C-alpha cells in the first residue's frame, strides 16, 4: 500500500512539473517509458485467477453441503433408474409364476423380501444361482424391486419432460409478451391471470378423467400408444395449465432487465445490441429460469404421483411411484413395506430436488434469496 | 378506504367472476368432448331409448342452446340428477359430502394455522439454536411429502400396526388421522412463512426502538412483532384451502371418510359426469372465492403493499 502511494505521489509531482514547464511541447517524456519498478510490478500481480459469475456460483454451490448431498442423491437415483433395468434379470411386467408351457406357480405371488418361490428353490437345489427378490414380489408375482426402479424412471421422466414443456411454452409466451408490449401484452397477461387463478389440481383431475377416455381411442395403433394415453394427457395438461408462472417470470425478467442501469451504461459506452444481450440480459435471466425449471420438476412429479394414486396416471402394467403406492393400499396390513418403499423414494426425490433447487437459487441468484 | 384500494378490489372481483365462468364453460365443453356422450358404458340401449334419454336430458338440442341452459342452471346451483346414483340430485350429494368435508377442512386449517404460527415464531425467536434446526428439518420433510403418502404412512403406523386410532373415518375418533394428514403440510408451510417474516420483522427499526424504550420482551413479541409478521400468512389462506380441498380427495379415499372428496373420486371412476361437473364447479368456486378474500384482506391489512 505504501509503495503504491509513493509511486502515485511521485508521478503526480512529475506530471505537475511537466505541465508547468512544457505544456505545449510535443516532446515525449522519457520517464513515462522507464521499466517498471519492482514495487509497481507487485501491484499488477494477479492474486488469484479471475472468475466468471458462473464459476463463482459453482463455487458457492459446492460449499453448500445440503445442496451437494441432494445433488448426489439425485444423480444416484437417476443413474439407478436408467441403468438397473438394463441388467436386472427380472422385467417389470413379467409375472414370474406364469411361464409359457409350464404349469403356473402361485408360490411366486406375494413373496416377502429375500424369499424364494418353489420353482426357484428347486432350481437352487440343482445348483443354479437365482437373483434374490430384494423387495419381494407383488400380488401378481412381479419382482417388486424392479417395479420400484421402473416407477422411479417413469416419475423422473415425467417430471423432467413436463418441466421442459413448461419451460418452452413459458419462455416463448413470456418473451413475446415482454418484447411486444402494448395490446398483445395486455391480452396475454389477462389470459395468464385467469389460468393462474384456476384451481390447478381440480382442472387437472377434470381434464385427466376425460382425456383418459378420449385419447386412448385416438391413440390406438400409433407409436404414441406405447407411452400411454394417461402420460400424454398429463403432458397436455402441463402444457395447458402450468406454463403461466414461467411466462410471468420471463416477462417480468425481460421488462425489468431492459430498464437496468448497467444495460444503459453498456449502451452508453458503445456496446452493440448483441453484446448487451449476450453479456447482460442472458446471464441475468438464465439463472432465474433454470432455477424455477429445476423447482418445477418436483412439482410435476408430485402431480404425476397424485394422479396415479387416483388411478388417472400411468396405464397398467406400467408402474409409477404413485400407482405403486396406490396398489399397496390393498394389502396394507400384511405388506406395509410395499407402501413404505415407494413413499420413501418419492419423498427422497422431491426433497432432494427441492433442496438442490434452493441451493442453486442461493448460489446463482442471491437477489432472490428472501 | 382509498379509491385505489377500491379499484383493486373491484378488479379482483371481476377477475374472480371471470375465472368461475371459465371453469363452468370448461366443464361444459370437456364433458361434451367425451366420446359418445355421457350414456356410453351403460348397458346397451336401443337407439329409441337412447334418443328418449337424450331428449330427457336436453342433449338433442343445438350446442349453443345447451350451453345457455347449462349456464343458467349452474348459476342457480341446479346440476341435475346424478347419472349413476339413481334418483339422487347432484346438489344433494354435494351438500351431504360437503358437511363432513367442511368440518374436516376447517378443523385442519385452523390447527395448521395455530401450530404453524407458534412453531414459526419459536423458530424465529430461537434462531440458529437446536430448537430452530429441529423445527426446520421436520417442516422441510413434511413439505416434501405428498398428502397421500403421509396419509398412508399414518394409516399404517397408527391404525394398522398399533390400533391407536380406527382406520375407518366415519366415526368421530376416525377423523383424527385424516385431520392430522391434512394439517401437516400447511402447518409446515406456515411455520416456514412465519419464521422468515418474523425474522424480517425482528430486524426492523421499530423493534429496536421498542427495546431501547425498555418494553418487555413479551410485549415486543405480541404487541409489535407478531402482528406484522402475520401479514404474509394471510396470503396463504387461499392456497391453503386449495391444498386442503385437493388433499382431501385422496385422504378421504384412504381413510374412508364419507365426504365430498370421496364421492368425487368415486364419480371419476364411475364416470358419473354430472357429479364430476357439479363437484368441480362447487370446489373451484370455493377456492377462487377464498383466494379473492385472502388477497383483499392482505391489501386492507397492510396498506403499504403496492399491488398493480
Task: Kindly compute the dihedral angle of the four CA atoms of residues A314, A316, A319, A325, in this order, to the nearest 10 degrees.
Answer: 90
- The enclosing H or E element of A89 equals none
Residues B47, B48, B53, B58: what is their CA dihedral angle, to the nearest 10 degrees?
A: 90
The full DSSP string for B228-271 is HHTHHHHHTHHHHHHHHHHHHHHHHHHHT--SHHHHHHHHHHHT
Contact between A91 and A319 (Cβ < 8 Å): no
Q: Which of B156, B253, B280 sits opposite A332 (nearest CB)?
A: B156
Phi-psi region of A221 (alpha: psi -120 to 50; beta: other; left: phi over 0): left
Question: Whole-angstrom Cα distance, residue B81 to residue B58?
Answer: 13
What is the arithmetic mean of pLDDT over A88-108?
A: 73
Position of cell 381413510? B255
pLDDT at B82: 78
Q: What is the pLDDT of residue B245?
A: 83
Q: Residue A290 — pLDDT band, cuts 50, 70, 90?
A: confident
Band the pLDDT of A11: cuts 50, 70, 90: low
Task: Please tell me whether the peptide bond between A308 and the residue prior to it is cis, using omega within 30 degrees of 0.
Answer: no
At residue B190, the pLDDT reads: 93
B291–A322 CB contact, under 8 Å: no
Mean of the per-residue pLDDT values of chain B? 83
pTM to 2 decimal places: 0.77
Render pLDDT for A251-261 as a digit per residue (tens, 0 to 9).
888 788 877 88
Give the Å distances, CA to CA, from B278 to A71, A95, B23, B82, B84. 44, 41, 11, 10, 14
- The residues, any chain, with a CB within 8 Å of residue A168's CB and separated by 6 or more, are none
Contact A199 B287 (CB under 8 A): yes
- The H or E element spanning position A285 is helix A282-309
Closest CB to B148: pick one of A202, A203, A309: A309
The CA distance from A105 to A102, in Å, is: 9
Residues B160, B165, B169, CA angle at the centre, nearest 5°?
A: 95
Predicted local confidence at residue B157, as pLDDT: 84
The C-alpha atoms of residue B86 and residue A367 are separated, in whole angstroms, by 59
Chain A contact for B271 (CB, 8 A cutoff): yes
Per-residue model confidence (pLDDT) at position B306: 56
A311-342 b/e with 16+ CB inside 10 Å = b? bbbbbeebbbbbbbbbbbbeebeebbbbbbbb
Per-residue model confidence as pLDDT tens for chain B (308 residues): 677 788 888 988 998 998 899 888 888 888 777 665 555 555 566 777 777 777 766 667 777 888 888 888 888 888 877 777 777 888 888 888 888 888 889 999 999 999 999 999 999 998 889 999 999 889 988 887 888 888 888 888 888 778 888 877 777 788 888 999 999 999 999 999 999 899 888 888 988 898 899 888 888 888 888 888 888 888 888 888 888 888 888 888 888 888 888 888 888 777 777 888 888 888 888 888 888 888 888 888 776 655 44
- For residue A129, the model assigns a pLDDT of 73
For the packed helices A282-309 and B147-154, what is the interaxial angle rounded to 10 degrees? 40
Per-residue confidence (pLDDT) for residue A222, from 0 to 100: 67
Nearest residue to A40 via CA among A69, A68, A5:
A5
- Residue B275 and residue B262 in contact, taking contact as beta carbons nearer than 8 Å: no
- A68-72, A223-227, B211-215: lowest mean pLDDT where? A223-227
CB contact under 8 A, A206 and B27: yes
Of B19, B149, B271, the CB nearest to A347: B149
Q: What is the mean pLDDT of chain A?
A: 79
Q: What is the pLDDT of residues A157-207, one digit of tens each?
A: 888 998 999 998 988 888 888 777 788 888 988 888 888 888 878 888 888
pLDDT at A1: 43
B15 in contact with A at a CB cutoff of 8 Å?
yes
Place of cell 387416483: A310
Collect contacts of A65-73 with beta carbons under 8 A, ≥24 apart: A66/A355, A66/A359, A67/A355, A67/A356, A67/A358, A67/A359, A67/A360, A67/A362, A67/A363, A68/A359, A69/A352, A70/A351, A70/A352, A70/A353, A70/A355, A70/A356, A70/A359, A71/A352, A71/A356, A71/A359, A73/A348, A73/A352
CB atoms within 10 A of CB B69: 13
Percent of chain A with pLDDT over 70: 86
Query: Quick one: pLDDT at residue A369?
Result: 44
Contacts across the A-B interface (CB distance below 8 Å)? 123
- Which residue out of A297, A309, A355 would a mutagenesis test of the B interface target, given it has the greatest number of B Cβ atoms within 10 Å? A309
Q: Please write the tens of the pLDDT for every residue from B122-162.
A: 999 988 899 999 998 899 888 878 888 888 888 888 887 78
Confidence at residue B183, expressed as pLDDT on a 0 to 100 scale? 92
Over residues B76-133, the pLDDT tens digits come to 888 877 777 777 888 888 888 888 888 889 999 999 999 999 999 999 998 889 999 9
Residue whose C-alpha cell is 406405447? A226
Residue with cell 422441510: B140
Distance in angstroms (rounded) separating the CA atoms of residues B15 and B20 = 9
For residue A355, what pLDDT is reported?
Answer: 86
B81: helix, strand or coil: strand
DSSP state of A137: B
Q: What is the model's pLDDT at position A367?
A: 59
Q: Please, which pLDDT band fits residue A301 given cuts at 50, 70 and 90? A: confident
Query: What SS3 class is residue A272?
Result: coil
**Residue A278 CA to chain centroid, in angstroms?**
23
Question: Collapsing DSSP states into helix, strand and coil, what is residue A329?
Answer: helix
Rounded to 5°, the CA angle A133-A305-A212 comes to 110
Neighbouring C-beta atoms of residue A18, cutoff 10 Å: 15
Q: Which of A195, A239, A357, A192 is nearest to A288 (CA)?
A: A357
Taking residues A233-242, report their average pLDDT.
Answer: 84
Chain A interface test: which of B39, B40, B148, B253 (most A C-beta within 10 Å): B148
CB A217 within 8 A of CB A232: no
Whole-number pLDDT of residue B37? 57
Determine the distance from the C-alpha atom of residue A286 to the mean position of all C-alpha atoms in its chain, rounded to a whole number: 13
CA A191 – CA A4 distance, rounded (Å): 62
Test B145 with A350 for CB contact under 8 angstroms. yes
C-alpha cell, A127: 445348483
- Dihedral class, residue B200 (left if φ above 0, else alpha if ψ from -120 to 50, else beta): alpha
Render pLDDT for A15-59 as a digit per residue (tens, 0 to 9). Answer: 555 555 555 667 777 777 888 788 877 777 777 777 777 788 888
Spatial neighbors of A35 by CB under 8 A, at least 6 apart, are none
Which pLDDT score, from 0 to 100, does residue A226 have? 65
Whether residue B259 contacts residue B104, with contact meaning beta carbons closer than 8 Å, is answered with yes
Out of A210, A325, A336, closest to residue B148 by CB: A325
Contact A206 B291 (CB under 8 A): no
Amino acid at each position: 500500500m505504501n509503495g503504491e502511494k509513493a509511486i502515485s505521489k511521485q508521478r503526480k509531482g512529475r506530471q505537475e512539473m511537466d505541465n508547468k514547464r512544457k505544456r505545449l511541447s510535443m516532446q515525449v517524456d522519457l520517464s513515462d517509458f522507464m521499466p517498471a519498478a519492482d514495487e509497481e510490478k507487485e501491484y499488477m500481480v494477479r492474486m488469484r485467477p479471475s472468475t466468471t459469475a458462473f464459476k463463482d456460483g459453482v463455487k458457492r454451490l459446492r460449499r453448500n453441503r445440503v445442496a451437494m448431498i441432494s445433488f448426489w442423491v439425485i444423480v444416484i437415483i437417476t443413474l439407478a433408474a436408467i441403468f438397473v433395468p438394463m441388467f436386472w434379470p427380472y422385467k417389470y411386467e413379467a409375472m414370474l409364476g406364469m411361464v409359457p408351457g409350464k404349469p403356473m406357480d402361485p408360490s411366486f405371488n406375494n413373496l416377502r423380501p429375500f424369499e424364494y418361490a418353489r420353482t426357484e428353490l428347486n432350481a437352487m437345489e440343482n445348483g443354479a444361482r437365482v437373483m434374490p427378490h430384494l423387495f419381494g414380489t407383488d400380488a401378481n408375482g412381479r419382482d417388486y424391486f424392479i417395479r420400484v426402479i421402473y416407477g422411479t424412471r417413469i416419475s423422473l421422466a415425467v417430471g423432467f419432460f413436463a418441466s421442459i414443456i413448461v419451460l418452452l411454452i413459458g419462455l416463448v409466451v413470456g418473451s413475446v409478451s415482454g418484447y411486444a408490449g402494448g395490446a398483445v401484452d395486455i391480452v396475454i397477461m389477462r389470459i395468464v391471470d385467469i389460468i393462474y387463478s384456476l384451481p390447478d389440481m381440480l382442472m387437472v383431475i377434470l381434464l385427466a378423467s376425460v382425456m383418459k377416455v378420449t385419447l386412448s381411442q385416438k391413440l390406438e395403433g400409433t407409436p404414441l400408444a406405447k407411452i400411454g394415453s394417461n402420460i400424454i394427457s398429463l403432458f397436455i395438461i402441463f402444457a395447458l395449465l402450468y406454463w403461466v408462472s414461467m411466462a410471468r417470470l420471463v416477462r417480468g425478467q425481460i421488462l425489468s432487465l431492459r430498464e437496468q442501469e448497467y444495460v444503459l451504461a453498456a449502451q452508453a459506452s458503445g456496446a452493440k445490441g448483441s453484446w448487451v444481450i449476450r453479456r447482460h440480459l442472458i446471464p441475468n435471466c438464465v439463472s432465474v429460469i433454470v432455477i424455477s425449471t429445476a423447482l418445477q420438476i418436483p412439482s410435476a412429479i408430485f402431480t404425476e404421483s397424485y394422479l396415479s394414486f387416483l388411478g388417472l396416471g400411468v396405464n397398467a402394467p406400467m408402474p409409477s411411484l404413485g400407482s405403486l403406492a396406490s396398489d399397496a393400499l390393498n394389502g396394507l396390513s400384511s405388506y406395509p413395506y410395499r407402501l413404505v418403499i415407494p413413499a420413501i423414494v418419492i419423498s427422497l426425490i422431491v426433497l432432494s430436488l427441492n433442496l438442490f433447487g434452493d441451493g442453486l437459487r442461493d448460489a446463482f441468484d442471491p437477489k432472490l434469496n428472501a | 378506504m382509498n379509491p385505489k384500494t377500491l379499484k383493486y378490489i373491484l378488479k379482483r372481483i371481476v377477475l374472480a367472476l371471470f375465472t368461475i365462468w371459465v371453469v363452468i364453460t370448461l366443464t361444459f365443453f370437456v364433458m361434451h368432448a367425451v366420446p359418445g356422450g355421457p350414456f356410453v358404458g351403460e348397458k346397451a340401449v336401443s337407439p329409441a331409448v337412447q334418443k328418449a334419454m337424450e331428449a330427457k336430458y336436453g342433449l338433442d338440442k343445438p350446442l349453443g342452446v345447451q350451453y345457455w341452459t347449462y349456464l343458467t342452471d349452474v348459476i342457480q346451483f341446479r346440476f341435475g340428477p346424478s347419472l349413476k346414483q339413481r334418483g339422487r340430485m347432484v346438489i344433494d350429494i354435494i351438500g351431504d359430502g360437503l358437511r363432513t368435508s367442511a368440518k374436516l377442512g376447517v378443523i385442519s386449517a385452523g390447527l395448521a394455522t395455530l401450530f404453524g404460527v407458534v412453531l414459526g415464531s419459536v423458530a424465529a425467536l430461537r434462531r440458529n439454536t437446536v430448537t430452530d434446526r429441529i423445527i426446520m428439518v421436520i417442516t422441510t420433510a413434511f413439505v416434501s411429502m405428498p398428502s397421500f403418502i403421509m396419509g398412508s404412512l399414518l394409516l399404517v403406523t397408527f391404525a394398522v400396526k398399533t390400533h391407536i386410532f380406527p382406520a375407518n373415518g366415519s366415526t368421530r375418533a376416525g377423523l383424527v388421522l385424516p385431520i392430522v394428514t391434512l394439517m401437516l403440510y400447511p402447518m409446515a408451510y406456515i411455520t416456514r412463512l412465519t419464521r422468515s417474516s418474523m425474522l424480517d420483522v425482528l430486524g426492523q427499526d421499530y423493534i429496536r426502538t421498542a427495546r431501547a424504550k425498555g418494553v418487555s420482551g413479551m410485549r415486543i413479541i405480541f404487541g409489535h412483532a407478531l402482528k406484522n409478521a402475520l401479514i404474509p400468512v394471510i396470503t396463504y389462506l387461499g392456497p391453503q384451502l386449495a391444498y386442503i380441498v385437493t388433499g382431501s380427495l385422496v385422504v378421504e379415499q384412504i381413510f374412508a371418510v364419507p365426504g365430498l372428496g370421496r364421492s368425487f373420486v368415486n364419480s371419476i371412476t364411475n364416470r358419473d359426469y354430472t357429479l364430476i361437473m357439479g363437484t368441480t364447479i362447487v370446489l373451484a368456486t370455493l377456492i377462487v372465492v377464498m383466494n379473492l378474500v385472502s388477497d383483499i384482506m392482505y391489501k386492507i391489512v397492510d396498506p403499504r403493499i403496492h399491488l398493480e
